[in-house]
Amino acid sequence: MNKSEIIVRIAGAAGDGVQSAGLIMAKVFSRNGLHTSTYNYYQSIIRGGQSWYQIRASSEKVKNQGDGLDVLVTLNKDGLERHTNPEINEGGASSLNGIAIYDKSLTGFKEFKDRVKYCPVPLSEIGQKYSKNPLLKNTVALGAVCGYISADFEVLADIIRDQFGGKGEIAEQNVKAAKEGYEYFVNTYGKADKKLQYSKKRKYLLAGGDAAGLGAVRGGLKAFFGYPMTPASSFLHFLAQHSKSLDVFVKVTEDEISAINMAIGANYAGVRAMTGTSGGGFALMTEAVGMSGMMEVPLVVYEAQRAGPSTGLPTKTEQGDLLQVLGASQGDFPKVILAPRNVEEAYYMMSEALNIAEIYQLPVLYLTDLYLAEHYETVDNLDTSFQINTGKIAKDGMENYRRYEFTSDGISFRALPGQPGLMHNEDSDEHDEKGDVVSDAVTDPYLRKLAMEKRMKKIDEYIKSIPPTPTYMIKDAESVVIQWGSTQGAVEEAVDILRGKGMKVGIIEITHLYPMNSDILQLVKGKKHVIFVENNYTGQLRRLIMSEFGITGDLIVKYDGESFYPGKLSEEIEAIIRR
Amino acid sequence: MTTISDFKGTVKPDWCPGCGNFAQLTAISGALAELGIEPKDTTVVSGIGCSSNLPEYIRAYGFHGIHGRLLPVATAIKWVNPKLTVIGYGGDGDGFNEGTQHFFHAARRNTDITYIVSDNQIFGLTTGQASPTSEMGMKTKTTPDGNLETPLDPMTFALTAGATFVARAFSGDVKQLQTLIKKGIQHKGFSFVDVFSPCVTFNKTNTYDFFRKRVYKLDETNHDPKDFYKAYEKAREWGDKIPTGVLYEVEASRYEERDEVLKTPLIDHPVAKITPEILNEFV
């Protein structure tokens, strides 16, 4: 183990319980006060295949799953070979340089003794002492890891009890199995020399999907309409499971088109509602995104990107939907695209998204991706207070009410059905201030022009509220990297590596994708290199920034379905700078 | 108390003279007035097509959305604010092509909304193409050699989907039409009224005369609208005799009664508090 950190990987087949074991391991760290970041490598199958779960923890802030691998827990032989062989690297993941914990019965595998200390443990044998459930071997393995890293056993025992619902028989079987695994490992192989800096300050541990769901409730969400699609489902599941405790109505509909139309209907009727999907479902929703724009009904869409095109790689990450979201629906209308960079931001930005949609009465597209939606990160604090701003809502009986009044900022008063004296029509056809159609009997070019300008003015107004573009180490930077979304952690760490080598590199981090703050014109001024880093093939953000501001630069892309790893990325950035 | 004139809008309908939609505008307004419902408490949601322009012509809250999608919008509005009378209104092209999926599932949910389809068996607004209810063999702009598909039957479709109120009306009989719409609004659950609405410009087959010669009223027979299989039989009756009236009506629980959160209207829910207990789940 180097530095103050540790990287643990749990590998097995789908159905082996890799994910739940991984999450328990992550909680061991977060409850011991360590910064933790996870990564879930899996496929779109329910049983078989090869999946793994990586957990990185440190007393310093960890921003991604990290390079290196210190402890491997493997539940099958395939995993043992795959993660110890330096010639195999899954999308850039490191092979083991540390200890391997696996069931004693595994034999006949290729060994790499220069890098790996093999630590067989009778995982199944111990597990079977307590229960016939074969998954108990996972718990034994978790105990073994905790023994190795000298983690307080009671922390693990508490997590197990929480997981299995209190002090029942199953929980106690698991606790005992873990304890025996813990002791077996310590007695047989001893503890790691290097000690992690544990503390009593337990941290929050949540996935981007959870954080966005919680942020939505904080932002006043009352109804969610969706249709299952990986990786947007974690958001849907969070809300469905908390429907009663967080008082949110959740409806899975017949299709994505219904979901978005219901969300628009609910917003129109006066509650904060949203929908969520991945790229394929969003493609089906696009017509209604334009309806929200035209009828000026507030709407938030959660779009969690996965590797496309078409069905693509359902369980793999990518940033390939930016241009789809940007171009969603026919015609010109105001829309806002936001992209959180990490779990904490996923929480705060979602509350903001709901305010923006209602203040400016337009669609807000919240663009995240599989990596951010599904990976867990620790967060020190979650501020639950939030000022909900519903924008302009008409008072009952308001005189001379016009739903689409041509105001100086383009924002007009909404009236909700049921309000006395404010009856009007809201129309997807072009309409005048009252909402009456100007497209059918007599098309009125003059009114059309004014109506178009009324809607587009709202974007000019919104732009004033966009915060300054976030940056990292930019002050003395000679070269600058531009990133967006979930690549933040890997890019920042790559820059840390380069800074360690004395290279003056900084980062511009785009959170407000559209409209974008023009301050990036100043931020790139005088930089020797401008390097875009994107999890897609064509450099979609580079295209957008080129078209908005005429800024371009070198491009580093990754489109193998995996997120960036900092070490490899730093080499790619360095190669461009030294070119 | 309300009167029919309370529902009179300021915009003059742009439908062709003689269009079946006029009778429906009158009947909807009349039914709402008869029931004493106020314009402010009425929301009419439509899709796209000639008939779907109706929200502009009625004094109420109107939502003129996109093609085929009126039912999800209408359903959600009712869930948010059940005090509203929510009427979905559109054509056969809108509801039985792109809207088919939503029609089926809206019926399953049995949300308390009324869905009225102005069924003229043709696309009118796009100037005369075959619709899902166009008769087999009908010549239109898109079927110069005659329509090659069997028409979709809205009645059996609605019954199969689980609609709890299924009725058929005719724009040539405003009195019956108004009564059926009124019954549909009064029905607690998803009510569906399919209205024969002759398109005087593009459908030269299914004219007022065509229907006048064929329609007869079910309530003048011994039809029992509680009998699903009898309703199904009546739904299949087509030819020289075509039944109108309530084919089927039963009471059943509504989605909004089944869902715990919806038991209180969404609009009355306060903003949820994120309590320390909730946050504790993430430790």
Identity of residue B121: Q
With a cut of 70, say whether residue A2 has pLDDT above it.
no
The SS3 call for residue A424 is: coil
Q: Which residues of A189-224 are buried (b: 16+ CB within 10 A; e: fewer)?
A: beebeeebebeeeebbbbbbbbbbbbbbbbbbbbbb
pLDDT at residue A440, as a whole number = 62
Residues in chain A with CB shorter than 8 Å from the CB of B13 are none
Among candidate residues A346, A379, A412, the one where a domain is terminated = A379
β-partners of residue B42 are B85
pLDDT at residue A167, as a whole number = 77
pLDDT in tens, B21-31: 999 999 999 99
Indicate the pLDDT class of residue A49, thresholds 50, 70 and 90: confident
The C-alpha angle with vertex B86 and arms to B40 and B134, in degrees rounded to 5, equals: 130
CA distance A492 to A570: 10
Is residue B203 situated within a structural domain?
Answer: yes
The enclosing domain of A283 has a CATH number of 3.40.50.970
pLDDT in tens, A134-157: 999 999 999 999 999 999 999 999
Identity of residue A557: V
- CB spacing of A436 vs B266 below 8 angstroms: no
Nearest to B66 among A30, A288, A421 (CB): A288
The enclosing domain of B215 has a CATH number of 3.40.50.970
Same domain (yes/no): A482, A401: no
Nearest to B282 among A206, A222, A287 (CB): A206
With a cut of 70, say whether residue A106 has pLDDT above it.
yes
Q: Tell me how many residue pairs between chain A and chain B have CB atoms under 8 A apart.
A: 180
Same domain (yes/no): A197, A224: no
pLDDT at residue B142, as a whole number = 92
Residues in chain A with CB shorter than 8 Å from the CB of B62 are 423-427, 435
Residue A503, C-beta contacts closer than 8 angstroms, at least 6 positions apart = A479, A574, A577
pLDDT at residue A218, as a whole number = 98
pLDDT at residue A92, as a whole number = 83
Question: What domain range includes position A104?
Answer: 5-202
Same domain (yes/no): A178, A241: no
**What is the mean pLDDT of the segment spanning A262-283?**
98
Same domain (yes/no): A522, A541: yes
With a cut of 60, say whether residue A273 has pLDDT above it.
yes
DSSP β-ladder status, A35-41 and A48-58: antiparallel
Indicate the pLDDT class of residue A15, thresholds 50, 70 and 90: confident
- CB spacing of A428 vs B65 below 8 angstroms: yes
Is residue B19 situated within a structural domain?
Answer: yes
Is residue A386 situated within a structural domain?
Answer: no
Is residue A336 situated within a structural domain?
Answer: yes
- Residue B172 to chain A, least CA–CA distance (Å): 26
Is residue B58 situated within a structural domain?
Answer: yes
pLDDT at residue A443, as a whole number = 73
Is residue A14 situated within a structural domain?
Answer: yes
CA distance A94 to A66: 9
The residue whose two tokens read 């209207």 is B265
CA distance A346 to A209: 8
Same domain (yes/no): A446, A532: no
DSSP B271: P
Q: Which residue of A has its CA nearest to B101?
A: A254
Is residue B1 situated within a structural domain?
Answer: no
Is residue B49 situated within a structural domain?
Answer: yes
- CB spacing of A270 vs B278 below 8 angstroms: no
Residues in chain B with CB shorter than 8 Å from the CB of A426 are 62-64
Say which residue, A83 or A89, is predicted with more confidence. A83
Residues in chain A with CB shorter than 8 Å from the CB of B261 are 243-244, 247-250
- CB spacing of B267 vs A270 below 8 angstroms: yes
Q: Is the peptide bond before A309 cis (omega within 30 degrees of 0)?
A: yes
Is residue B4 situated within a structural domain?
Answer: no
CA distance A70 to A59: 16
CA distance A312 to A374: 18
With a cut of 80, say whether residue A556 has pLDDT above it.
yes
**DSSP-assigned letters across all residues of B69-117:** -HHHHHHHHHHH-TTSEEEEEEEHHIIIIITHHHHHHHHHHT-S-EEEE
pLDDT at residue A276, as a whole number = 98
Same domain (yes/no): A408, A556: no
Alpha helices in A361-483 (DSSP H): 370-374, 445-463
Question: What domain range includes position B75?
Answer: 9-280
- Residue B237 to chain A, least CA–CA distance (Å): 31
Q: Is B54 exposed, middle or buried (0-12, 13-18, 19+ CB in 10 A)?
A: buried
- Residue A276 to chain B, least CA–CA distance (Å): 16
CA distance A319 to A367: 9
Same domain (yes/no): A210, A350: yes
Q: Which of B90, B105, B118, B92 is nearest to B160 (CA)?
A: B105
Is residue A147 situated within a structural domain?
Answer: yes
Rounded to two decimals, the ipTM of the complex is: 0.98
Among candidate residues A417, A439, A465, the one where a domain is terminated = A465
Identity of residue A402: R
Indicate the pLDDT class of residue A93, thresholds 50, 70 and 90: confident
Q: Which two tokens stand for residue A352?
A: 């903001």
CA distance A539 to A543: 6
Residues in chain B with CB shorter than 8 Å from the CB of A254 are 101-102, 104-105
Q: Provide, rounded to the nearest whole percent, the portion of chain B with pLDDT above 90.
A: 99
The residue whose two tokens read 């930077």 is A477
With a cut of 70, say whether residue A304 has pLDDT above it.
yes
Residue B10: which region, alpha, beta or left (left: phi > 0; alpha: psi -120 to 50)?
alpha
The 10 Å Cβ neighbour count of residue A371 is 29
pLDDT in tens, B43-72: 999 999 999 999 999 999 999 999 999 999
**What is the mean pLDDT of the segment spanning A189-212?**
94
**What is the mean pLDDT of the segment spanning A43-53?**
79
Domain tally, chain A: 4
- CB spacing of B72 vs A268 below 8 angstroms: no
**What is the mean pLDDT of the segment spanning A430-441?**
86
CA distance B103 to B116: 11
pLDDT in tens, B229-279: 999 999 999 999 999 999 999 999 999 999 999 999 999 999 999 999 999
Choose, out of A158, A221, A262, the residue to mutate when testing the contact with B (most B CBs < 10 Å). A262
CA distance B80 to B273: 20
With a cut of 80, say whether residue A312 has pLDDT above it.
yes
CA distance A283 to A278: 9
DSSP B164: S
Cβ(B24)–Cβ(B88) below 8 Å: no
With a cut of 70, say whether residue A442 has pLDDT above it.
no
Phi, psi of A571, deg, nearest 5: -65, -40
Q: Which of B272, B254, B68, B257 is nearest to A223 (CA)?
A: B272
The enclosing domain of A508 has a CATH number of 3.40.50.920
Cβ(A334)–Cβ(A293) below 8 Å: yes
Helix or strand (DSSP H, E) at A22: helix A18-31
Cβ(B129)–Cβ(B122) below 8 Å: yes
- Residue A382 to chain B, least CA–CA distance (Å): 8
Choose, out of B6, B52, B64, B113, the residue to mutate when testing the contact with A (most A CBs < 10 Å). B64
CA distance A299 to A437: 22
The 10 Å Cβ neighbour count of residue A255 is 16
pLDDT at residue A3, as a whole number = 64
With a cut of 60, say whether residue A1 has pLDDT above it.
no
Domain tally, chain B: 1
Q: Which residue of A has its CA nearest to B44?
A: A425
- CB spacing of B105 vs A253 below 8 angstroms: yes
Phi, psi of A532, deg, nearest 5: -90, 135
With a cut of 60, say whether residue A441 has pLDDT above it.
no
Is residue B2 situated within a structural domain?
Answer: no
- CB spacing of B261 vs A428 below 8 angstroms: no
**What is the mean pLDDT of the segment spanning A311-329?**
97
Q: Which of A122-126, A197-201, A235-239, A439-443 has the lowest mean pLDDT?
A: A439-443
Is residue B26 situated within a structural domain?
Answer: yes
Residues in chain B with CB shorter than 8 Å from the CB of A210 are 282
Task: Tell me what the pLDDT averaged over chain A comes to.
Answer: 95
pLDDT at residue A166, as a whole number = 77
Residues in chain B with CB shorter than 8 Å from the CB of A263 are 76
Same domain (yes/no): A187, A239: no
β-partners of residue A273 are A223
Nearest to B80 among A202, A271, A427 (CB): A271
Choose, out of B14, B44, B261, the residue to mutate when testing the contact with A (most A CBs < 10 Å). B261
CA distance B113 to B88: 7
Is residue A387 situated within a structural domain?
Answer: no
Same domain (yes/no): A197, A220: no
- CB spacing of A254 vs B79 below 8 angstroms: no
Choose, out of B2, B40, B279, the residue to mutate when testing the contact with A (most A CBs < 10 Å). B40
Q: Which two tokens stand for residue A429?
A: 């056809």
Indicate the pLDDT class of residue A511, thresholds 50, 70 and 90: very high
With a cut of 80, say whether residue A358 has pLDDT above it.
yes
CA distance A248 to A274: 11
Cβ(A443)–Cβ(A281) below 8 Å: no
